[in-house]
Amino acid sequence: METSITATCAIRGRQIFLNGTLLFEAPEDTAADLSDFLIAGYRHFGVSYPKFFKMDVLSKLAFLTAELLLPKAGLQDRLRPADIGVVLTNRSSSLLTDVVHQQSIAEPASHFPSPAVFVYTLPNIAIGEISIRHQLTGENSLFVTESFEPAMLVPYVSQLLAEKSCQACLCGWLEAGLTGHEAFFYLVENHASPAPTPRPHRVPDVELLYSQPHYS
Amino acid sequence: MKKIFSMASSCITPLGFGTAATFQAVQAGQSALRPHWFDFSDESFCAATIDETPLTTHFTALGYAAHQYSKLEQMSIMALRDVQAQFSEPLTGPDTLLVYCSTKGNIAHLASGTEQPVAPALYLSHLARTVARACGFAHTPLVLSNACISSLQGVLVAKRLLSTGLYRHVVVVGADEVSKFTLSGFHCFNALSRQPCLPFDAARTGINLGDAAVALVLTTAPATSAEAVEVVAGSSTNDAHHISAPSRTGEGLYQAITRTLRQADDDTVDFIGAHGTATRYNDEMEAQAFHRAGLQEVPLHSLKGYFGHTLGAAGLLEAVMGIESMRHQELIVSKGYETCGTTLPVRPVLQRGPARLRRFLKTSSGFGGCNAAVLFATTA
């Protein structure tokens, strides 16, 4: 069956792109801290979802990327929530929050772990946050890879769609680690979609979409 | 659709090194849960841990230098070497993929403070590569980290990858260890039980944690022995409800179960391997889901009373024990259960005994709202 990529959204450095077009660039002074930058993006796009502020940075990054991608794609008008899968890949798992939890338990004399932190010490919580927001109840997986690897992701998602475990899938790369952050999400759909320029769901196409636009 | 068979397994647990030893201990009614003291509390908490001395002795006998590998790596390598020795074909060729499933990997080695460099072994892909290299796998392993459904989801992922024809064999590993990191987290959630946990029981007060590494070989090679078990169907879902609390109606798990049974030609289930963590909310949610799926009369067990909750390893450990239960045609007692503790009653197994067991449904649920169900069946 023909499957196609119908939309993309990327957050890189202090820039946010939708379908390859730069939509938002934070001033340098707000971009030093990833959480501050994501909050600036959230405000810029007029998103209203108070739970956003409770999320750790990995979930904030995932949430904002999905928030810009999914409603515009109009997927939920065409498909049931159970038919939309989420498959994300990441390098550092939940390391940034792991470090915060570790600091709260390192010294027996100052042992104050918080449930609100601990729950984010799993990378798939970010998928949970996206699922709650958009009511996605289908197949969901988080793979850990060294870097974004379309050669691994594309065949797996193709199989999910071929066996009809889902009709569409939110896929991509979701990384927030000690050396930087990057989100690149794309939508893959089984049916011919109304997107003006759908791309075939193949490894070279995903690689091309991922590499464009170049960092400014 | 290609048929997928499970052909060899190994469980490295406090109850035994190997599937046979572990199953035998379970059927003898042994539990690995013991009181342990941790520096964050004056009280003891039960946990099921593997003693390092016998582990290292066994590991060293395989020809490795123990100081070069973490405890979790040693456990994982032992499980893999065991299945490699059992399986009739080599698992080190380009037709074989390793799928490594863990929630926290080597997290016990996380040093405090952001200024310190993080050891490479803390990255899950580094851990998986270390294990894969030690066992001679040809490909870079695929790593899955999906909370407490990780390794049951790993079986589903393996089934899909085998269906693509890209691989002939996929070895799934589930591995996690008890650490202060996870213990203190569950403690602050008020989810830890001081006593051995009591899944589905009225007196249950929470979970215990445990160590385990489990390996299972899945293959599209034709089943050569009557002991082969088919991975018939499976599904995963998300509750889309709450990141840490299970759905009150069991909706996500119910959907995973019904989608799994719909995929199968025959929706008969002879017994259920429940998640059964022994928290109030989890067991209640599962009872709701089993009732909604019409499975309330099916015998079920939770194995947390033997092994504690082994997090990312739990789904695969419990799947392998369920497969052994079918092979031996013998039910496993749901240890710790006496009095019904869920609003809707379920049927935890009270007595070990022979039974005709051909089809086994394994379910798991986890943080992030994820659920998975997999149906296994004997081929004989």
- A106-112 CB contacts, 8 Å cutoff, 24+ apart: A106/B112, A106/B113, A108/B39, A108/B40, A111/B39, A111/B40, A111/B184
Per-chain mean pLDDT for chain B = 96
Query: What dihedral do alpha carbons B21, B26, B28, B30 form, nearest 10°?
Result: 100
φ, ψ of residue B123 to 5 degrees: the values are: -80, 130
pLDDT exceeds 90 at position B257: yes
Residue A53 contacts B where some CB pair is shorter than 8 Å: no
Provide, as residue numbers in chain B, all residues whose Cβ is less than 8 Å from the Cβ of A98. Answer: 104, 107, 110, 181
Residues B371/B252, Cβ–Cβ less than 8 Å: yes
CATH number for region B5-219: 3.40.47.10
Whole-angstrom distance, CA of residue A155 vs CA of residue B207: 38
Domain A4-211 classification at class level: alpha beta
Beta strands (DSSP E) in B220-349 are: 229-238, 271-273, 299-301, 330-331, 347-348
**What 3-state DSSP class applies to A211?**
helix
Residues B340/B238, Cβ–Cβ less than 8 Å: no
Whole-angstrom distance, CA of residue A201 vs CA of residue A127: 22
Interface of B with A in 20-39 (CB under 8 A): 39
pTM beyond 0.90, yes or no? yes
Residues B200/B283, Cβ–Cβ less than 8 Å: yes
pLDDT digit string (tens) for B96-154?
Answer: 999 999 999 999 988 755 556 688 999 999 999 999 999 999 999 999 999 999 999 99
Residues B229/B358, Cβ–Cβ less than 8 Å: no
Interface of B with A in 136-165 (CB under 8 A): 140, 142-147, 153, 157, 160-161, 163-164
Question: Cβ of A160 and B160 within 8 Å?
Answer: yes
φ, ψ of residue B192 to 5 degrees: the values are: -85, 135
Q: In the predicted model, what is the mean pLDDT of residues B222-242?
A: 91
CA proximity to A138, closest of A161, A105, A162: A161
The two counts, helices (H) then strands (E), for chain B are 10, 17
Please give the DSSP secondary-structure letter assigned to residue B198. -
Token pair belonging to A12: 């890189």
Please give the DSSP secondary-structure letter assigned to residue B346. -
Q: B229-378 has which fold?
A: Peroxisomal Thiolase; Chain A, domain 1 (3.40.47)
Whole-angstrom distance, CA of residue A40 vs CA of residue A32: 12
Token pair belonging to B337: 């259960």
Q: In the predicted model, what is the mean pLDDT of residues B44-51?
A: 97
Q: In the predicted model, what is the mean pLDDT of residues B277-281?
A: 97
Residues B223/B376, Cβ–Cβ less than 8 Å: no
Closest-CA distance of chain A to residue B181, Å: 7
What was the ipTM of the complex prediction? 0.96
Beta-carbon contacts of B305 under 8 Å, excluding residues fewer than 6 positions away, are B31, B33, B196, B197, B198, B199, B278, B334, B335, B336, B337
φ, ψ of residue B137 to 5 degrees: the values are: -70, 140
User: Of the candidates A82, A103, A137, which has its C-beta nearest B112's C-beta?
Assistant: A103
- Return the domain boundaries, chain B: 5-219, 229-378
Which residue's structure tokens are 């820039």? A15
> What's the one-letter identity of residue B143?
V
Residues B363/B257, Cβ–Cβ less than 8 Å: yes
Token pair belonging to B31: 């539990």
Helix axes A150-162 and B150-163, enclosed angle (nearest 10): 80
Distance between alpha carbon A95 and the CA centroid of its chain, in Å?
Answer: 16
> Best interface-test mutation with B: which of A56, A105, A112, A166 has the largest number of B CBs within 10 A?
A105
Please give the DSSP secondary-structure letter assigned to residue A184. E
With b for 16 or more beta-carbon neighbours within 10 A and e for fewer, the B94-121 pattern comes to ebbbbbbbbbbbbbbbbeeeeeeebeeb
Beta-carbon contacts of B302 under 8 Å, excluding residues fewer than 6 positions away, are B199, B200, B274, B275, B276, B277, B278, B283, B334, B335, B336, B337, B348
**Tens place of pLDDT per residue across chain A (216 aa):** 678 999 999 999 999 999 999 999 998 877 679 999 999 999 999 999 999 999 999 999 999 999 999 988 888 888 998 999 999 999 999 999 999 999 999 888 888 999 999 999 999 999 999 999 999 999 999 999 999 999 999 999 999 999 999 999 999 999 999 999 999 999 999 876 666 667 999 999 999 999 986 544
Closest-CA distance of chain B to residue A146, Å: 7
pLDDT at B116 (0 to 100) = 61
Whole-angstrom distance, CA of residue A124 vs CA of residue A101: 17
| Partner residues linked to B301 by β-bridges | B273
Provide, as residue numbers in chain B, all residues whose Cβ is less than 8 Å from the Cβ of A119. Answer: 243-244, 367
* Kind of pairing between the strands at B16-17 and B5-13: antiparallel
Question: Cβ of B164 and A159 within 8 Å?
Answer: yes
Residues B349/B333, Cβ–Cβ less than 8 Å: yes
Interface A–B counts its CB contacts (< 8 A) at 165
Residues B208/B239, Cβ–Cβ less than 8 Å: no
pLDDT at A40 (0 to 100) = 95
Residue A60 contacts B where some CB pair is shorter than 8 Å: no
Residues B202/B340, Cβ–Cβ less than 8 Å: yes
Residues B118/A95, Cβ–Cβ less than 8 Å: yes
Question: Cβ of B145 and A101 within 8 Å?
Answer: no
pLDDT at A77 (0 to 100) = 86
pLDDT digit string (tens) for A39-60?
Answer: 999 999 999 999 999 999 999 9
pLDDT at A215 (0 to 100) = 47
> What's the one-letter identity of residue A204?
P
pLDDT exceeds 70 at position B319: yes
